[in-house]
Chain A
Amino acid sequence: MQAQYLDGGFADPPRDAAHAFRAALTALSRPGRIETLAGARPPAPASGAAGALLLTLCDATTGLYLAPSHDSDALRGWITFHTGAPFVGPEHAMFALGTWAALQPVTRFPVGTSEYPDRAATLIVEIDTLDNSGAVLTGPGIKDSARLSLPEVAAFRANRRQFPLGFDTYFTCGDRVAGLPRSTRVEEV
């Protein structure tokens, strides 16, 4: 037990988690919208937004995969102390955290079954720039179309083709987050 892992959690867990969940819910139900997720200070290289997502959604019942970019003792210790989430391989992950490159190949992650499409992974992808430029998004939650700076288009088009199966994605950058559910259609500009 290292004392430095104790810091950086929510100051007021019920209320901070409620705010964080609403931001996460808005982000996923309105793809392209960028929300603020504050209150968590995880060890580097995890962003504050990724830390807040972990604190809000993960616990001892959710297997978490840390991609090589984020697989450090400090982050493992912090996650274990604050959430109790067990660390698992990508094939069994309910949540996965890493950079887009480190998470490859994303086809490893559970996409649910045709009878239980909810049993699919949620990827938390740390990216360097998050803004409303780049790929064009259409589908549920989007009035006409939206744009989001995705790290890649092909993987998300392939993911959409499996609908209603597929993984769901959060993009995090600093204290900001955007969501990309499997239902979103993604086009190159």
Chain B
Amino acid sequence: MSDYNFAYLDEQTKRMIRRAILKGVAVPGYQVPFASREMPMPYGWGTGGVQVSAACLTPDDTFKVIDQGADDTTNAVSIRKFFEKTAGVAVTERTCEATIIQTRHRIPEDPLTEDQILVYQVPIPEPLRFLEPSEVETRRMHALEDYGLMHVKLYEDISRHGEIATAYAYPVKVEGRYVMDPSPIPKFDNPKLESAALQLFGAGREQRIYAVPPYTKVVSLDFEDYPFDPSKAPHPCALCGAEDSYLDEVITDDKGSRMFVCSDTDFCASRRAAGHVGVAGAEVPA
């Protein structure tokens, strides 16, 4: 561990990232450009989130990483080990014990507290990018609060599919001003964006940092006659029986059998430890 500066990055880089984070906090939902560094992992593996975490970590923190809700996938395990090695911080898989949680594409099911920071890994931070490829144009659209194009996109969803078909990375308006991409979290998680915890977003390849401070108003875009619907698969979890958690569909053989299980592994394991059992819970060891 002594071979690395604390939390891997050099101090000059951390100051630059820290200044960007503070400006992001001051202007909720606005994407602050920053000089993203090359990290010892490829773009797409959470380099933005890792840089934000590195800038925020203190030696007293307890760090948790989830990838689509799971603590035990390759991405989550390697980032957790990275900071265990370079920052010497304590790590955990328990949501309630963590002080900083880095996440790829989920918000934990357990409500976060004022003492926690949630760091998102963001692939494409610009919500308007697939509607308008030019950065010059999208920047001007944000400056002028010109978000008509996004509503046209949602309207076309309805005219084509009969409903707003966007199921993840569902756009939100932050504090009545900036339209923001909440990263590719399922729209089921959107209501949780109004949180007691500070939420920071890092996009390494795209070199943007943005933030949602605690208790900030976050509204999912919709229409009066087509209100926002944070839907999920209409099943209980097969392992713990939870009916209010976001579920992954798992194919269990080549004959079409499937099961739905909580995507948040800590939430599911905690429920099973507390004695909750789903229809397949008895067959699968906890």
Contacts and interface: CB of A to CB of B under 8 A. Distances in A.
Contact of B21 (A25, A58, A61): A25
Interface stretch (A13-21, A73-81, A150-158): A13-21
A181 B19 contact: no
Interface residues of A, number: 41
Given A56-B15, A140-B28, A183-B27, 6 more contacts: A15-B6, A15-B59, A25-B22, A115-B143, A118-B32, A181-B26
Contacts of B192: none
A114 to B, nearest CB: 4
Majority secondary structure, B binding face: mixed
Which interface class (under 10, 10 to 19, 20 to 34, 35 or more) fits B?
35 or more
| Complex A-B, nearest 6 residue pairs according to Cβ-Cβ distance, in ascending order | A14-B6, A181-B26, A141-B213, A118-B23, A114-B143, A140-B216
Contacts, number: 118
B38 to A, nearest CB: 19
A168 B32 CA distance: 15
Nearest to A18: B58
A62 interface: yes
Interface of A: 13-15, 17-19, 21-22, 24-26, 28-30, 56-59, 61-62, 94, 113-118, 120, 122, 139-143, 163-164, 166, 168, 181-183
B26 A183 contact: yes
B147 interface: no
B182 to A, nearest CB: 16
Given A22-B56, A141-B214, A29 B25 contact: yes
Contact of A17 (B11, B26, B217): B11
